[in-house]
Homo-oligomer: A and B are copies of this chain.
Amino acid sequence: MGTDSPDEKWSTAEEEIMQATYRTLLESGYVGLTISGIADELGKSNAVLYYHYGSREGLLVAFLDFIADQRKSMIKTESTQDPKADLDCVIEKLLPLQPDADQQQFQEVLVKLRSQGVTNEAVREQFTRIDERIATTIRNIIQRGIDNGTFRDVDSTQVAEHILAMVNGGRYGYVTTDRETTPSAARVSLSSYIDSELRRNT
């Protein structure tokens, strides 16, 4: 996770809190994510955090909102005239062929948090938003490609859901198993899928 602001809606103070939350998650995991742990990491008092977020739960929801915004700006693509390149670019950001240490750490934190969504409604809502946004971004790129004649006239929603499931499954497999070739295998297979699904028969 970089230090760039993912969105102008986040003040510098809030962003510092979010970065401290991320570091606390990395160091102590979800169970160790407490208001006082984050306050220690931040070098401020608990009161500041309670003032902003009310509770650990409130802070967690704000953090996921921050992640969702960051992800949104990460996968935001300039509308180039090359939808195929845009699609490749988004996929590389979501499922890097060779994840570096930061990317891997970020995925690990996300998987830990996301599993809380099984029982925590507020967490589930945030991941619903995150997946919706990704699906929409991919669908829009595909639609642009159909409109400008780059892609075949496919069901853009279906293809977008397919890519999203592959990306989620590939990342999930990668951080929860020792099958280290998972992301590259998923990427190779995804490329071949996109090619055969979207390529126009010329």
Report which A residues bind B (CB closer than 8 A): 29, 31, 108, 111-112, 114-115, 117-119, 124-125, 127-128, 131-132, 157-159, 161-162, 164-170, 172-173, 175-179, 182, 185-186, 188-190, 192-193, 196-197
Residue of B nearest to A190 (CB): B162
| A29 proximity list for chain B (CB < 8 A) | 119
Once bound together, how far apart are the Cα atoms of A173 and B196, in whole Å? 25
Separation in Å of the A108 CB from the closest CB of chain B?
A: 5
Residue of B nearest to A31 (CB): B31
Once bound together, how far apart are the Cα atoms of A197 and B197, in whole Å? 10
Once bound together, how far apart are the Cα atoms of A169 and B171, in whole Å? 9
Residue of B nearest to A129 (CB): B177
| A166 proximity list for chain B (CB < 8 A) | 162, 165-166, 169
| A185 proximity list for chain B (CB < 8 A) | 157-158, 161, 165
Once bound together, how far apart are the Cα atoms of A193 and B172, in whole Å? 21
Contact A114-B165, Cβ < 8 Å, known A31-B31, A119-B29, A158-B188: no
Q: Is the CB of B125 within 8 A of A178?
A: yes
| A131 proximity list for chain B (CB < 8 A) | 173, 177, 179
| A193 proximity list for chain B (CB < 8 A) | 162, 193
Once bound together, how far apart are the Cα atoms of A112 and B125, in whole Å? 17
Q: Which of B132, B177, B189, B192 contacts A117 (CB 8 A)?
A: B177
